[in-house]
Amino acid sequence: MADLSKSKKLDRLVKVQGHLTKMVENELAITTRERAELAEKIETLSGYLTSYDPLHQDMLKHYVMRHSRLMARDVRLESIQEAQETQLLKETKKGEKLEDKRDSAREDEARVRDDNSIYELIDLQISMKASSLQQG
C-alpha cells in the first residue's frame, strides 16, 4: 500500500470527493424539499389571513404570528440553501480538478512505462549484440 502510484492515490481522492459532493447534494435536496413544504404552509396560511370566514377572523392573531414564524424560517432556510449551493459548486469544482490531475497522472505514468519498455528493449539489443560479439 505504501507503493501506490500517484494516479491511484488521486483516484481514491476523486472517490472521496464524489462522496462529499453527494452528501452536499443530499443536504441541498433536503433543504429544497423543506422550503417547498414551507411555501405550501405559507400559501395556505395566507389564504386564511385573507378569508372572511368568521372562524378564520377569530384566529387572525394566531395566523399572523404563525405566518411571521414561517416567513422567518423560510429566510433562514433560504440562506442555508444558498450556502449549500455554493458548497456544492466548490465540491464539484474540486472533484473536476482532482479528476483532471488523476487523468494527467495516468498519462504520465503510461508515458513512463512506455519509455521504460523502450529502454529495456534497447538494453536487451545492446546486451545481445555485446554477447554475440564476445562469442563471435
pTM of the model: 0.75
Q: What is the pLDDT of residues 5-38, one digit of tens each?
A: 999 999 999 999 999 999 999 999 999 999 999 9
Grid coordinates 394566531 are at which residue? Answer: 62
Q: 67-75: list long-range contacts, CB under 8 Å, 24+ apart.
A: 67/42, 70/38, 70/41, 70/42, 70/45, 71/42, 73/38, 74/35, 74/38, 74/39, 74/42
Q: Which of 5, 13, 32 is nearest to 88 (CA)?
A: 32
136 pLDDT more than 70: no
Confidence (pLDDT) at 58: 81
What secondary structure letter does DSSP report for 2?
A: T
1 pLDDT more than 50: no
Angle made by CA atoms 70, 75, 78, in degrees to the nearest 5: 120
Q: What is the pLDDT of residues 50-103, one digit of tens each?
A: 888 887 778 888 889 999 999 999 999 999 999 999 999 999 999 999 999 999
